[in-house]
């Protein structure tokens, strides 16, 4: 089996200790696919991992919230989500936490001139997640291996979905929940920067929700190890509508390569400010107009924070923090000097509960499409187990 240069050296060369059965395709991207899978020991004979309807989960069943009817569930499936009760959440958390349910990220090596660049990004992703394995705010990495011409990353399954999906479901977070989430994210950025890693794409779709409202950052494919003594980066990467002005300047449509535009790890604090704004308002601070040129969008972002609509943020401390994080001048941006300590000492975080008990937003939702794919049985509380399974 062929292996991939520097990436292959990070992949397991030993016989696989686990077997995988793909249940569902979660997402398709240009260079990779993301699957939900069963993960069981290769030597196991007590679990038939080849069954397509995930009967191992049916043995336990997932209860609905008390009082919900079949019609309610049908409606929620149409809406795109299902809300599980405490017992259902605990069962699913059990299988996710022990790695039996996991996410598989499958990369296909491009057979062209960008293959070396692709390998380096994959290598950066593996190395960064391994460096951050002690951080409680970074997705847990399980293993990586090559199989049938593809490279696979196995990582924990965070079934509650992304911060993006939560915000879209509730429109905007209440202030206490936003504060707790923001403190977690600030500490996560501090963890990354302490390991000399810049994420460069901290958006709500790259932040997943775990048990009790604990946030975890995923997708380190665009991250960059920061060399000692040289924090400058030049690549035009990230989510366009959330990019800080110094990254937009690296766009060859705006600035010629000879201008040598660059940026540092303070870009992560800009993304953090954009996230906080989104949590509080349900919208991103900047919206790209399909008819606008790159230069026009840059000019809007470069005038931040004066070009931002703050009418949706009523809390004075929250607005002040967002304004200081979305400062278009990198050296004046909160966090550029003083790092995470300077950010978390802001008045906005005064009295924030770090034990997650201040999170009042319900987060125990599972994507209905995934829910259907794993064919989990729902057991009514009014019936004795195993009860009536809904297909």
DSSP character string of 122-134: HHHHHHHHHHTTT
Q: Which residue has the higher pLDDT, 182 or 368?
A: 182
Half-sphere exposure of 176 (CA within 13 A, CB side): 12
Q: In angstroms, rounded to a whole number, what is the distance separating the alpha carbons of residues 143 and 42?
A: 14
Burial of 95 (0-12, 13-18, 19+ CB in 10 A): buried
Beta strands in the chain (DSSP E): 18-28, 32-41, 62-63, 81-83, 101-108, 141-147, 150-156, 197-198, 207-209, 215-217, 224-225, 365-367, 378-379
In a domain, 49, yes or no: yes
Whether residue 333 contacts residue 270, with contact meaning beta carbons closer than 8 Å, is answered with yes
| Shared-domain flag, residues 192 and 301 | yes
**Across 249-259, average pLDDT:** 78
| Shared-domain flag, residues 321 and 187 | yes
| Shared-domain flag, residues 24 and 138 | yes
Residue 381 has pLDDT above 60, yes or no: no
| Shared-domain flag, residues 234 and 344 | yes
Q: By three-state DSSP, how is residue 332 classified? A: helix
| Residue 19: CATH number of its domain | 3.30.200.20
pLDDT for 346-375, tens place per residue? Answer: 999 998 866 565 566 777 888 877 776 654
What pLDDT shows up at residue 355? 59
Name which of 5-9, 335-339, 358-362 the model is least confident about.
Answer: 5-9
Domain housing 80: 5-159+371-379
Residue 284 has pLDDT above 80, yes or no: yes
Whole-number Cα distances in Å, 363 to 117, 164, 196, 215, 228: 37, 12, 32, 11, 40
- Report phi then psi at 291, rounded to 5: -90, -5
Query: What is the distance, to the nearest Å, from the Cα of residue 29 to the centroid of all Cα atoms in its chain?
Result: 15
Percent of the chain with pLDDT over 90: 42
In a domain, 354, yes or no: no
Which of 2-16, 67-81, 136-150, 264-278 reaches the highest mean pLDDT?
264-278
What single DSSP character describes residue 284? -
Adjacent-strand bridge partners of 250: none
| Shared-domain flag, residues 167 and 107 | no
| Shared-domain flag, residues 134 and 180 | no
| Residue 336: CATH number of its domain | 1.10.510.10
Q: How many CB atoms lie within 10 A of CB 213?
A: 21
- List CB contacts of 303: < 8 A, sequence separation 6 or more: 328
What pLDDT shows up at residue 386? 32
In a domain, 256, yes or no: yes
- List CB contacts of 71: < 8 A, sequence separation 6 or more: none
The overall average pLDDT reported for the chain is: 79
pLDDT band at 387 (very low <50, low <70, confident <90, very high): very low
pLDDT band at 101 (very low <50, low <70, confident <90, very high): confident
Q: In angstroms, rounded to a whole number, what is the distance separating the alpha carbons of residues 365 and 371?
A: 10
pLDDT for 211-220, tens place per residue? Answer: 889 999 999 9
Residue 113 has pLDDT above 70, yes or no: no
pTM for this entry: 0.82
Q: In angstroms, rounded to a whole number, what is the distance separating the alpha carbons of residues 350 and 108?
A: 46
Q: In angstroms, rounded to a whole number, what is the distance separating the alpha carbons of residues 190 and 269?
A: 10
What pLDDT shows up at residue 257? 67
What pLDDT shows up at residue 302? 94
| Shared-domain flag, residues 290 and 336 | yes
Q: In angstroms, rounded to a whole number, what is the distance separating the alpha carbons of residues 88 and 70?
A: 16
| Shared-domain flag, residues 206 and 146 | no
| Shared-domain flag, residues 111 and 222 | no
What pLDDT shows up at residue 256? 66
What pLDDT shows up at residue 61? 40
Give me the residue label for tokens 């069943």.
Answer: 61
**Across 304-311, average pLDDT:** 96
| Shared-domain flag, residues 301 and 326 | yes
Q: In angstroms, rounded to a whole number, what is the distance separating the alpha carbons of residues 200 and 278?
A: 17
């Amino acid at each position: 089996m062929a292996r991939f240069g520097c990436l292959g050296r990070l992949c397991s060369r030993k016989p696989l200790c686990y077997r995988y059965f793909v249940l569902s395709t979660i997402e398709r991207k240009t260079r990779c696919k993301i699957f939900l899978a069963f993960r069981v020991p290769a030597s196991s004979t007590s679990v038939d991992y080849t069954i397509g309807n995930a009967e191992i989960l049916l043995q336990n069943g997932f209860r609905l919230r008390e009082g919900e009817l079949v019609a309610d569930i049908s409606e929620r499936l149409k809406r795109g989500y299902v809300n599980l009760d405490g017992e259902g959440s605990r069962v699913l958390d059990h299988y996710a936490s022990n790695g039996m349910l996991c996410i598989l990220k499958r990369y296909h090596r491009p057979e062209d001139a960008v293959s070396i660049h692709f390998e380096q990004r994959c290598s950066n992703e593996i190395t960064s997640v391994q460096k951050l394995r002690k951080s409680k705010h970074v997705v847990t990495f399980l293993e990586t291996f090559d199989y049938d011409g593809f490279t696979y990353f196995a990582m924990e399954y965070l079934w509650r979905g992304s911060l993006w999906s939560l915000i879209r479901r509730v429109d905007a977070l209440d202030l206490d929940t936003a504060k707790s989430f923001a403190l977690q994210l600030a500490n996560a950025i501090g963890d990354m920067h302490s390991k000399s890693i810049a994420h460069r794409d901290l958006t709500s779709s790259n932040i997943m929700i775990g048990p009790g409202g604990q946030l975890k950052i995923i997708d380190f494919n665009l991250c960059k190890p920061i060399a000692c003594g040289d924090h400058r980066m030049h690549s035009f990467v990230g989510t366009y509508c959330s990019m800080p002005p110094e990254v937009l300047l690296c766009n060859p449509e705006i600035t010629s390569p000879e201008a040598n535009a660059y940026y540092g790890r303070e870009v992560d604090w800009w993304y953090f400010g954009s996230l906080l704004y989104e949590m509080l308002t349900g919208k991103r601070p900047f919206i790209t107009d399909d008819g606008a040129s790159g230069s026009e969008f840059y000019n809007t972002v470069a005038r931040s924070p004066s070009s931002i609509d703050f009418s949706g943020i009523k809390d004075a401390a929250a607005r002040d923090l967002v304004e200081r994080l979305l400062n278009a001048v990198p050296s004046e941006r909160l966090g550029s000097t003083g790092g995470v300590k300077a950010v978390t000492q802001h008045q906005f975080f005064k009295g924030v509960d770090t034990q997650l008990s201040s999170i009042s937003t319900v987060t125990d939702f599972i994507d209905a499409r995934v829910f259907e794919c794993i064919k989990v049985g729902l057991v009514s509380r009014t019936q004795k187990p195993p009860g009536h399974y809904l297909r």
